[in-house]
Structure 1
Amino acid sequence: MKISHQLLDVAYGTSRLDLVTDAAKFRIVLLNDEIVRIRCTFEEDFPEEASYALVLTAWEDKMDALVPDRKRIEPIPAQYEDLGTHLLLSTRKLRVLVHKEPFAIEITDADGNVLHADLQGKPYVRDALGRLYHYSCMHDQDHFYGFGEKSGYLNKKHRRMRMHNVDTIGYDSELTDPLYKHIPFYIKFNSESQIASGLFYHNAHDSVFDMGCERSGYWNKYSYFCADGGELDVFFIYGPQIKDVVRHYTDLTGKTVLPTKYSLGYMGSTMYYTELDRDSDKAILGFLDRCREEGIPCDGFFLSSGYTTGQDGKRYVFNWNGDRFGNPQRFVEQMEEKGAALVPNIKPGMLTTHPLYKKFDEAGAYIRDGSGEQSHIDRYWGGPASFVDFTNPKGRELWKKHLKDSLVSLGITSIWNDNNEYEINDARALCHFEGSPKTIDGLRPIMPNLMAQMAKEAIEEVYPDTRPYIVNRAGFAGIQRYAQTWAGDNNTSWKSLKFNIPVILGMGLSGVANQGCDISGFFGPAPEPELFVRWVQNGIFQPRFSIHSCNTDNTVTEPWMYPAYTRYIRDAIRLRYRLVPYFYSLLYEASTEGSPVMRPLVYEFQSDDRVKDESFDFMLGPYILVANVLEKGAKTREVYLPKGAEWLDWNTKERYAGGQTIRLDVSLESIPMFIRSGAIVPMAPHLMNIRQDPVEELHLLIEPSEETRFVVYDDDGTSNNYKQGEYLKTTISIKNGKDTRISFANEGNYRTKLKTVRLDVLCKEVAPVEVRLQDKKLPMFLDPNQWESAGEGWYYDMEQKAAKIKYSYRREDYEVRMKFDVKDLISI
């Protein structure tokens, strides 16, 4: 065992500080004012810089040409002071202390608050098996969030979690570990200092996080990270707000790719249809027709892998089953005519009986065995298979060729990457690694990221003006740059409904803003009616909204499966569609700031001690609190409303002070939602199909008691023209006082189809006495029917306590001004 105890030597270079200890070598880089990189190796020298994950670097990297949008910056000079017992490096916001003996690294803010401290005595360790450990001090006030896709409650304190991609069909969303994603990053929030920071371990080997589960009386309380190999390459990320940590982490690993707008629609799916003996295409087209008959919006269909089944019943990627899909080209065209995207399932493992197996094998496109002489064969879904090596240019190009030939050439621009966990059981299996062979154990979670990147590239090479829509099951840090993700094959149960929420929230805090879970449960018997309704009512708030199932009782989960309950399903999905402009604006924010769409309450209300462990109620963006009914047979629902804001019931507009728990009566139609003071929520009131229905009326729900701003984002939703300025960003700002001013500032060249703007301005105490659009006084109506038929004007809704304002859309910047002087009717 090797442990760094003593600092022996220091070498200063302008961009880095190199340290030599009695056990390991270290390299410190001040990447910027908020991010510090600490590399540790127990070898003679540091390995070559070769990262598929980072998009922000300050050094030359082997993968520079392979990582789109990578940015190289100049680091802060690593000048240091020798203060006797320790060295000191500084940025404008951070202080890095290198203690000489016992050796340890400590990081504080400019005020001296300790943000991170290595455990002195055993900070960096390599054991006899070659495993690497990094031990950190922890405190009673610390809370830990993130870790990618992890089961259980939001706060992972006192948890031990394994990082490893695995196909966990029917998992327990409270207890199963690991799941599909491998994202070695977490946020530490100290509730006493109110400061958040993060650690990202740039290491793709299997690893373990122990967040205080282990305890020894010989040491202060600690947590640790342990990796099976590689190096300890640690990025410290400063807040002080949780949202700052997420923003800086996504500066490092990439922002969420701006998705197609239609991906926010209801995406139909089930394995059942593609397992029919014949005419699966007709069943899917019939599904879309039935959606329309039932008044249920639908914008696409996830095509399960049964469409690839060969005569022997095995799945063969890139193969269309002619009995189930007689004319794939015509089928894709019919889907398009009905306003639905087709998202076919593909898998990177190719069975040894696959018609294309030999072609890939002879090209050397598979991961090799330990000798490097032949393709590695392992267990897979359906039998023995070899896995495409996406670190090999031959594997990438051959994969893209057949992806284009079999799918993209038909007009398909959406791809579903499934079963891509790369569960290869021989750690000696060799990957090409761009010409420098490396074993799979250090690259396993990278493969699904590269698979997503290849799908994106294949579509863009055939249709350069079209925005790809990629969905991934597995992934590593940075998967958000390429794909939407989902939480795999969940179990059909009330527990899954509940605990999938913190699974998704944890992903959002780990940089993956665009994700969800299979609504109604994937594996198990058909959901009972009440569970089905509650799951849809919850699922409409997830960026990925798809009812997807593989029922174990010979049934198929469909929106109308329980006719007496279909109205609840319809109403929930229509609410989702009303919120599409809000969702799309939030995903634009994710693409620029890294912000989650579904946000734990602690993300927005960090100073409220009562929300630090809340796992099930969440914020949709900054303005809507969602408190879904998650218990069977519930008649009431308790909701804690965070302090720091006032809250309005979504339906009744009843006001509540923050910092209190309220109890609501609930029925089967209830979707408890609350509007935050200062809210600006854009909606589309009549939207039924995102691909085909032009949005001609923008409905803005505004609570103006706080001065806030929100960017409503729009573009054509399907092309890459937004990169050339064809977008519309409308910054809406609220200023209040004696008058309330709502200003609109537009940017971009996108020609919107909007004709009408409607504002519902929630009034706290009195109704307005006058409303002006720029300098024009708008007519006031007492009769809402007259207002409805008028082109512009306003009236006051007594029941909702809202001024309802309507006018024609204006492209130029403008302002709506509301006067709240109380008119003295008696003296008149």
Structure 2
Amino acid sequence: MEVVNYIQQKDHLLLEGRTGLMKIIPYTKSIIRIRYTLENQFSEEESFFVEPDTQKNMEYSVEEKENTIIFSTRKVHIHINKNNAAFTYKDASGKLLTKEPKRGGKTLLPTEVLKPVYDDNTEIENSQNVDGARAKAVPIKHVVDRMAYQTKLEFEWANEEALYGLGSHEEGVLNLRGTHQYLYQQNMKAVVPVLVSTRGYGIIVDSYSTMKFHDDIHGSYIWTDVDSEMDYYFVYGPEFDQVVKSYRYLTGKAPLLPKWAFGYVQSKERYKSQEELISIIKEYRQRQIPLDLIVLDWRSWTGELWGQKSFDPDRFPNPTEMMEEIHKLNAKLMVSIWPIMSNDGPNHIEMKQKGYLLGNQANYDAFNKEARNLYWKQANEGIFSHGTDAWWCDCTEPFEADWVGEIKPEPEERLFINTQEAKKYLDPAYINAYSLLHSKGLYENQRQTTESKRVVNLTRSSYAGQQKYSAITWSGDIAANWKTLRNQIADGLNMCVTGIPYWTLDIGAFFVSDREQWFWNGDYQEGCEDLGYRELYVRWLQYGVFLPMFRSHGADTPREVWRFGEPDTPFYDTLVKYIKLRYRLMPYIYSVAGWVTHEDYTMMRTLAFDFRNDSNTYDIKDQYMFGPSFLVNPVTDPMYYESGSVELEVVPKKRSVYLPAGTDWYNFWTNQRLLGGQTIEADADLETMPLYVRAGAIVPIGPTIQYTSEETNLPIEIHVYKGNNGSFLWYDDEGDSYNYEKGAYATIPIRWEEQNNLLVIENRQGTYPGMKTSMELVLIIVSGEGENIDQRKIWYTGEQTIINF
């Protein structure tokens, strides 16, 4: 677009071209919105994920030069070439962040939007596969609904630049440079249209259609399939935490999950009765293995009434009493619900009578507020009113169509198959947003029903803004093999770097054995009887300890700890050791969760969050930071057994670990101190996942407990790792309810002054019901020298305490 005129308005700069309009809108000094249309005016459609009232009258300036218009806030300068509207983005010092090609980087291509037409004679084909019920309809015809645009936003990324984000996919790619990614919702694909660069900026694309990312032989660009105009945000950091904070300013803060959601979650496909659920919890309690949540997977309903949101009276004869007993055992229950309904169950009939079903007459229309309200009414009356605690919103990318056959379709074919199926029932401009609206309905309605229980929604899909609805995305129905474990680490990191804080997976993978279908390709026909699978499962669970949600789940084989051995055997003992470690770290983990909500922090952190200046970290996809202190290094190769319990010979029990530069590191298990900026061979026997703590870290560690709300008078340990100044904000609240939103929480700032060997525990700020007014603390100073540890006991009463070591 050639710029022929510009108009400086109070809240935006308007660029007029011979063939279009551009609008540059400063939302903050670091967030700039860019819109481009070929129409005579901009679209009035409201964003699904950007919060209202985020755009303020932010001060900006405009400077015109011979061939350039310069738009500036205090943080970002955009140089606009008058000849072709090519943008060059710089920071306030003039440092280049990124730029578009010299020919111009924004393209709009008109496209017809087709709408399928159904009538009362439309035939519905109902079926079931391993991924649940399916209903397919063939429209009687298609009509042109409107004209829209395909959009293409091009960049010239720098050679040394690394890019992350776009959600959780299945290829195990971390740094997206030199790759391509197809962005559509599918089992094992969860989309978030956010890119974050090590050059210190982010891109947020406000589109809900199919998208493509390319940085390959075809070019470097983001493409969207159907939009009324181009609409995106340029966000300056320069640090990743600042980009995430701006993302959440735009799209909404992440509410705090209940404390029990950070405990151990036991699930499998599937527990079939209330007796079985309760017996499993009792077994955990008898064995003194910590547990907080058990999960009821699909088919809680009666017979073949798929998606009915109520309990089968034969298998769950008294759900209210069941919940009372589960709660007496200090556990919680999560129940699976689906957006698809079939076989004329009561929920299905009611939705159909109201006209709230999509064209296949099975999936409810989550884009309709009244349909969302009815969906909640059904879920509340049939399930939540009995006292259940959490939702598992399965199959929230409801129109996958390629989970059949022996051979996995090619990526382009999968893109076509799945998006074409979705377009039969959803407007093609919105096929990526179903999960977002589904989560919105559940969250808003539960909040209106009660404030005493925080919303927990485990869901298989994601989109920008979904964090504000207390959604936790899991990575779908993955298969049990070492390659999948390796891939999942990068997949989760790319989800969390987008600003979506809560991601998890099936510990041990969903499919364990190998069957005819392409996706059922685990390596372990004998399940947990296979010593090879036991080794893989232990490594997976070690990794899972350091995920936002710590959850075991899957098909083919049981998942309870005792299925992997008995006490005094290595697999069993190692599993118990790491589950207990998760609970001992709960003061640290819940504090970090508090930061996620109150400070827009990110719990699971690609290394560039904390070491952006160390380019050696950019392509490391099997290590990450968990909070500010822990460098997590999962073991992703077998050392003891192949599948079939075949013993491996002469495999070193080591894994390579890069210790990022700029700090010393401590081996968590031995307290050995090591220099950063080097690669080491770390001990990695079965009992040991290499785990390192950054110098200057302050880590609160609690006693061994059996559930997150267990009260104990045992002391809390405060571990301080010498080598740098450090600080930690200890956060706590009731653990559930939304009283924290009204200020019912407490924080204790703790700092370590390295030069003075001084630990300062500041005055506690705030209070909440049930808070302990005093507590015993064991202060442990780790130096890595001599005897390694200096230890003191104190009694903290909420007032400033200074200890000189």
Greater shift in the superposed pair: 465-474 or 667-676 = 465-474
- Counterpart among 3, 10, 14 of residue 10 in structure 2: 14
**In the alignment, which residue of structure 2 is the partner of 1:162?**
182
Aligned partners of 2:308 and 2:348 also within 8 Å: no
Aligned partners of 1:203 and 1:230 also within 8 Å: no
Deviation at 1:103, TM superposition (A): 2.4
Aligned partners of 2:423 and 2:431 also within 8 Å: no
Counterpart of 2:41, as a letter, is D
Greater shift in the superposed pair: 525-534 or 616-625 = 525-534
**Are 1:759 and 2:779 an aligned pair?**
yes
Deviation at 1:736, TM superposition (A): 2.9
Cα separation, 1, equivalents of 2:459 and 2:423: 26
Deviation at 1:352, TM superposition (A): 5.0
**In the alignment, which residue of structure 2 is the partner of 1:492?**
480
**Are 1:324 and 2:315 an aligned pair?**
yes
**In the alignment, which residue of structure 2 is the partner of 1:516?**
504
1:746-825 alignment to 2 at 5 Å? 746-750=764-768, 751-753=770-772, 755-763=775-783, 798=787, 801-818=788-805
- Counterpart among 546, 551, 554 of residue 546 in structure 1: 551
**In the alignment, which residue of structure 1 is the partner of 2:718?**
700
1:168-187 alignment to 2 at 5 Å? 168=188, 179=189, 181-187=190-196
Aligned partners of 1:705 and 1:764 also within 8 Å: no
**Are 1:80 and 2:87 an aligned pair?**
no
**In the alignment, which residue of structure 1 is the partner of 2:134?**
none
- Note closer, same or farther for the CA distance 1:78–1:92 as it changes in structure 2 (3 Å cut): closer
**In the alignment, which residue of structure 2 is the partner of 1:614?**
620
Aligned partners of 2:779 and 2:791 also within 8 Å: yes
- Note closer, same or farther for the CA distance 1:474–1:739 as it changes in structure 2 (3 Å cut): closer
**Are 1:399 and 2:375 an aligned pair?**
yes
Cα deviation, 1:272-296, whole Å, max 9, x if unaligned, reads: 323xxxxx21111111111122221
**In the alignment, which residue of structure 2 is the partner of 1:663?**
681
**Are 1:201 and 2:188 an aligned pair?**
no
- Note closer, same or farther for the CA distance 1:352–1:41 as it changes in structure 2 (3 Å cut): farther
- Counterpart among 338, 352, 358 of residue 349 in structure 2: 358
**In the alignment, which residue of structure 1 is the partner of 2:240?**
242
**In the alignment, which residue of structure 2 is the partner of 1:256?**
254
**In the alignment, which residue of structure 2 is the partner of 1:441?**
428
Cα deviation, 1:672-704, whole Å, max 9, x if unaligned, reads: 111110011111122221134447532111114
> How does the TM-score come out when normalised to structure 1?
0.83
Cα deviation, 1:504-559, whole Å, max 9, x if unaligned, reads: 111110111122111000123235111111111111111111110112xxx32221
SS at match of 1:475: coil
Runs of 4+ in 1 over 4 A off after TM superposition: 424-430
Counterpart of 2:70, as a letter, is L
SS at match of 1:148: strand
Cα deviation, 1:69-111, whole Å, max 9, x if unaligned, reads: xx44423245422212111111111111121113212211122
- Counterpart among 98, 102, 116 of residue 116 in structure 1: 98
- Note closer, same or farther for the CA distance 1:120–1:558 as it changes in structure 2 (3 Å cut): same
**In the alignment, which residue of structure 1 is the partner of 2:269?**
271
Cα separation, 1, equivalents of 2:187 and 2:153: 28
Aligned partners of 2:696 and 2:720 also within 8 Å: yes
Counterpart of 2:392, as a letter, is W
Cα deviation, 1:406-452, whole Å, max 9, x if unaligned, reads: 1121112311111111328466667xxxxxxxx52222332212222
Cα separation, 2, equivalents of 1:428 and 1:679: 50
How many residues are treated as equivalent by the alignment? 712
Cα separation, 1, equivalents of 2:227 and 2:54: 27
- Note closer, same or farther for the CA distance 1:78–1:656 as it changes in structure 2 (3 Å cut): closer
- Note closer, same or farther for the CA distance 1:158–1:739 as it changes in structure 2 (3 Å cut): closer
**Are 1:530 and 2:539 an aligned pair?**
no
Aligned partners of 1:518 and 1:549 also within 8 Å: yes
**In the alignment, which residue of structure 2 is the partner of 1:571?**
577
Aligned partners of 2:174 and 2:491 also within 8 Å: yes
Cα deviation, 1:173-193, whole Å, max 9, x if unaligned, reads: xxxxxx1x221110122xxxx
**Are 1:133 and 2:129 an aligned pair?**
no
Deviation at 1:612, TM superposition (A): 1.0
Aligned partners of 1:295 and 1:570 also within 8 Å: no
Cα separation, 1, equivalents of 2:534 and 2:372: 45
Deviation at 1:128, TM superposition (A): 5.5
1:29-48 alignment to 2 at 5 Å? 29-48=25-44
Gaps of 5+ in 1: 56-63, 65-70, 169-178, 190-194, 216-221, 275-279, 368-375, 378-384, 431-438, 767-797, 819-828
SS at match of 2:58: coil
Aligned partners of 2:306 and 2:340 also within 8 Å: no
Aligned partners of 1:761 and 1:803 also within 8 Å: yes
Task: State the superposition RMSD in angstroms.
Answer: 2.0
**Are 1:417 and 2:399 an aligned pair?**
no
Cα separation, 1, equivalents of 2:505 and 2:249: 26
Cα deviation, 1:477-501, whole Å, max 9, x if unaligned, reads: 0111111221111111111211111
Cα separation, 2, equivalents of 1:710 and 1:347: 41
Task: Give the fraction of aligned pairs with identical amino acids, expressed as a percent.
Answer: 26
Deviation at 1:624, TM superposition (A): 1.1
**In the alignment, which residue of structure 1 is the partner of 2:137?**
none
Cα separation, 2, equivalents of 1:566 and 1:234: 50
Greater shift in the superposed pair: 85-94 or 7-16 = 7-16
Cα deviation, 1:623-665, whole Å, max 9, x if unaligned, reads: 1111122110151122111111111111111111111111133
Cα separation, 1, equivalents of 2:670 and 2:278: 39
Counterpart of 1:454, as a letter, is G
Cα separation, 1, equivalents of 2:678 and 2:775: 41
Cα deviation, 1:190-227, whole Å, max 9, x if unaligned, reads: xxxxx311111011111101123425xxxxxx434343
Cα separation, 2, equivalents of 1:632 and 1:475: 32
Aligned partners of 2:59 and 2:73 also within 8 Å: no
- Counterpart among 675, 680, 684 of residue 702 in structure 2: 684
- Note closer, same or farther for the CA distance 1:290–1:228 as it changes in structure 2 (3 Å cut): same
Aligned partners of 1:514 and 1:587 also within 8 Å: no
Counterpart of 1:300, as a letter, is L
- Counterpart among 80, 83, 104 of residue 98 in structure 1: 80
Cα separation, 1, equivalents of 2:332 and 2:580: 19
Cα separation, 2, equivalents of 1:666 and 1:427: 45
Aligned partners of 1:271 and 1:306 also within 8 Å: no
SS at match of 1:147: strand
Cα separation, 2, equivalents of 1:85 and 1:305: 62
**In the alignment, which residue of structure 1 is the partner of 2:283?**
290
Cα separation, 2, equivalents of 1:25 and 1:746: 54
**In the alignment, which residue of structure 2 is the partner of 1:825?**
none
Cα separation, 2, equivalents of 1:117 and 1:509: 22
Gaps of 5+ in 2: 112-148, 400-418, 514-526, 640-651
**In the alignment, which residue of structure 2 is the partner of 1:174?**
none
Cα deviation, 1:457-493, whole Å, max 9, x if unaligned, reads: 3333332233222222112101111112211111111
Counterpart of 1:558, as a letter, is E
**In the alignment, which residue of structure 2 is the partner of 1:176?**
none
Counterpart of 1:690, as a letter, is T
**In the alignment, which residue of structure 2 is the partner of 1:146?**
165
> How does the TM-score come out when normalised to structure 2?
0.85
Cα separation, 1, equivalents of 2:713 and 2:15: 60
Counterpart of 2:150, as a letter, is R
